[in-house]
A and B are shown apart, each in its own frame.
Chain A
Amino acid sequence: MRRKLVGWGFAAVAGMALGIGLLVLIVLIATTALQAAPITAMRAVAGAGISLSLRSMEVPGTREAAGYVTVAQVEAGSPAAELGLARGDALLVVGSVPVERPSQAWEAVRGAPGGRGVVLPVAWLPRAEVALGTLRATPGGVTVATPSPMAQAGGLAPGDLLLSAGSIPITGTRQAWEALAVAARTGGAPVEVKLNRAGEEIRLLWDPVRRGELRFVRDPLRAWWGFLTTLNEPRYPERAGLLPALVGSLYVVLVMAAVAFPLGIAGAVYLEEYAPTNLLTRTIEVLVANLAGTPSAVVGIIGLEVFARALGAGRSVLAGGLTLAVLILPTMVVASREALRAVPRTLREAALALGATRWETVRHHVLPYALPGILTGTILSFSRALGEAAPLLLLGAFLFVTYVPQGLGDSFTVVPLQIFEWATRPQDGFATVAAAAIVVLVTLLLLLNAVAILLRNRFGRRWAG
């Protein structure tokens, strides 16, 4: 009975450990995927041709600020440009939702019923010079200098003193347009504009809002593909691209692999096959094992001092790759030694007894036999390096990189750093983009580990026979 209980207890603990691991992975993937989901709508808005940014206006007489969304960029030739949207316009309504922040516009596109493509009504206030014309600050307040044709059509005349829009007092030349935008969004059009014309107060009912319909294409595949393959536009999350970071990661990992792979295997082969057992080699073994546990940030400082400064590599791909190589070298040596140690002694003896030298034995029999194990360890260390941010941050890798590095001497960023940069941005949408980048990174890591397993199985089958 007692023995059975021990067995059950063990099974429970083991099951818990594995369950927690699995749960963490599932929760990680599920939450990041959920977080990243709005990227489809974000890129649909960007795809219609507009980038949005959040502005705010202090409401005079209160301590509150009212937010509004301006069109920060319009792509030439896009549907939005054809509709007449221009840089500086205030986006007021998407679908039936008044938008106070960019995320509300994306949510409106995301939540609109319909399939992949969806046509939504949009309303916007043209930029100040189109909607109002030139205003001038005078001692009495804000005066209309030259009204735009649109303002004239609405009833404004030169010399009018603007008092309020909706219920918002007008206190500044720029603020007059902002007040109009906020009033139009909250109270709807037409907006009641109070003005003083030649000493007489006039109430004007004016509808400065333009309306139209925009087609948004909500295509997750296109959104993710665009995210992966476009250059980064650091100001607008809906145009954020992972390409520079992906290519940066690839280059850095390639440099690291080119350095760490041969060195790691050579070190392991020396320690395992050649080194005499004496104080020196034992010291080296202890040092290597300790180095494997060095915090990655410390390795980053080594990279900064040695590669970036002393060797003059700067904040380049080369310095980054070398730093990561230093980081994974001990792990690689330890893993490769484990694999070499698993090679049966009889195999070595068989080769040596035929008159093979040590090197021939290693080259023809020991290394091929140990290769699956070495590769597994190698790929696991590579995937660790791929996820490292700290050493490269200390090295001084750039966070804003909007171009693809072309060579060893170029500055770079990597995916984990890009995630870090996006995750720390307060603006709408960057959390989504960071989550999307996490999804990409985790997928990459899982793929690498799958490759490791595949390699092991493939070679394992070939050898075991």
Chain B
Amino acid sequence: MTEFNELSRQFQISDLKEQRADLHFFHASKEHAVAVLTSLKEKYGYTHLVFFTVVDHLEKNEFHLTYMLHNYEKHHDMGVVVKIARENVQMESIHHLWPAAATYQQEIREMYGVEFPGSPGLYENFALEGWEDIPPMRRDFDTKEYSDKTYYPRPGRESHDPREYMKENLYPGEAETW
């Protein structure tokens, strides 16, 4: 693939994988990721940031930051995966390339705890309000434990066996004949 071959001469990128004819993925190093994205946008026509998200690989102690770019002329998608360690995780912001990226980064900081220094509105609440636990989309966040801790079990409504209930309350006189 031309883009990949040319970029690999300048940047640390590897593991090109063709998922479909119109969708490729490759890995980029943390240091070179933003430069690779800038080149893809400015030089190779990948002008549309489709999405930006994180996949948590807890067992490998890694986050996989996944940037998906689209080229409207070739109708081709390029997924750039950046592996970073899960502790004190920081990544360079891309809001200067796409203003809409600030929203993605705001959400990722809230849901995964990845910091993007300089990204506008990074510390404002996105979907959560006053959240103090570990970021909830991390795989080590136990939703069941959180729910048991936060909410108390409510006693259910009083229930009856319908047959017995009808016998005792609705047709007390006839019940003996049943």
Q: Tell me, yes or no, whether A binds B.
A: no
Q: Which residues of B contact A (CB under 8 A)?
A: none
Q: Which residues of A contact B (CB under 8 A)?
A: none
